[in-house]
Structure 1
């Protein structure tokens, strides 16, 4: 009889994903430095951060019992250590995740509904947003945005055109007209 597949908790899956991202980011930075200066000593900040991440990864590492390793003193050694931690995190993921055909992605094996691995999650189809009248909210917002941009362009265009033409010419006053009372007689 086949052995049942192991299940993990939702919290442990989320913790694994957060740790994987942090270790990957630090490993990338350390590897970049190690490529240029492999024998350079690791600073206290990087060393403490690496040891903290290795400690946080204890539930996912194959050697869970005993003392955790101390971070290496040079960048090349620390890059190797972080690479090994990443490999063990990937191994843990491979043992506790599987392809889910219904969700079309790799999912954690957890109790209940399978949980997609967030960093590997495919683009999810977004449900249409509608107004109370049933109008597509995204299309309405897009039209408003385009109208606003068009109006800003038109205003700027007319301001630029009037600035190029200069101020309107002064009206010429050849003859002074008499006041209105003298021009039009009042009714009786």
Structure 2
């Protein structure tokens, strides 16, 4: 059965992997020189704890991954411990590969978990912020509200003007649409604040109908709000 990825599993993986990888590197270094040397009990106890947690995380795929018990004869040597640690590290890497993927937007490998992208910490490049905080831009929000009010006001004014022209038998007018399109074309490619400022800088204020405004939104120069 496939393991369902959760925040708790990710946290456990990110806590275990660096510790197991560091311990494996240390044991392999000793094993390369004295492979049959018995492992100190303190080191063996730590390895059993970490490998046991990794096996639990891996579930069915972790069966058989374990450090031999302390009462085993002959005693655990560095070569045997390196094998067990290597299996645990490989299992965690397989788990990571099965539950992560490249995010073009975040430009890093992220866990396949619903919600905001969560990077795989060990794969982040040097100096990369792990979980960047998206800060609010009050100026952009203010200008966006102005554009929203402008659109609703123009819609209301255009409807009224079209109604009057229709009653008078006049042909539809397109000057406003053409002027706005030219304005947007001139501002295309600039920063968001510049585009919004350009659209709201030289306009005539129109108060849109109350029923078109969102709750709590200001709709007039006097600062009145929709009830």
TM-score, with normalisation over the residues of structure 1? Answer: 0.58
2:113 corresponds to which of 89, 110, 113: 110
CA distance in 2, matches of 1:61, 1:28: 25
Indicate whether 1:45 and 2:42 are aligned: yes
CA distance in 2, matches of 1:84, 1:64: 9
Q: 1:8 to 1:48 in 2, by over 3 A?
A: same
Look up the match of 1:179: none
CA distance in 1, matches of 2:100, 2:57: 16
Look up the match of 1:8: 5
User: Higher Cα Rg: structure 1 or 2?
Assistant: 1
The Cα shift of 1:69 comes to 4.7
Deviations 1:49-88 (A, max 9, x none): 1100011112125444689452670101111111111111
CA distance in 2, matches of 1:124, 1:65: 35
CA distance in 2, matches of 1:23, 1:85: 8
Say how many residue pairs are matched. Answer: 123
Indicate whether 1:32 and 2:29 are aligned: yes
CA distance in 2, matches of 1:102, 1:82: 35
Kept in 2: contact 1:61–1:85 (CA 8 A)? no
Indicate whether 1:124 and 2:128 are aligned: yes
- Divergent runs of 4+, >4 A: 64-69
Which range is displaced more, 48-57 or 115-124?
A: 115-124
1:59 corresponds to which of 35, 57, 60: 57
Kept in 1: contact 2:35–2:78 (CA 8 A)? yes
Indicate whether 1:95 and 2:93 are aligned: no
Which blocks of at least 5 consecutive residues in structure 2 are unaligned? 70-74, 134-227
More relative contact order, 1 or 2 (CA 8 Å, 6+ apart): 1
Q: 1:64 to 1:88 in 2, by over 3 A?
A: closer
Q: 1:84 to 1:67 in 2, by over 3 A?
A: closer
Give the match's secondary structure for 1:113.
coil
Which blocks of at least 5 consecutive residues in structure 1 are unaligned? 128-188
Kept in 1: contact 2:39–2:76 (CA 8 A)? yes
Kept in 2: contact 1:16–1:89 (CA 8 A)? yes
CA distance in 2, matches of 1:110, 1:11: 12
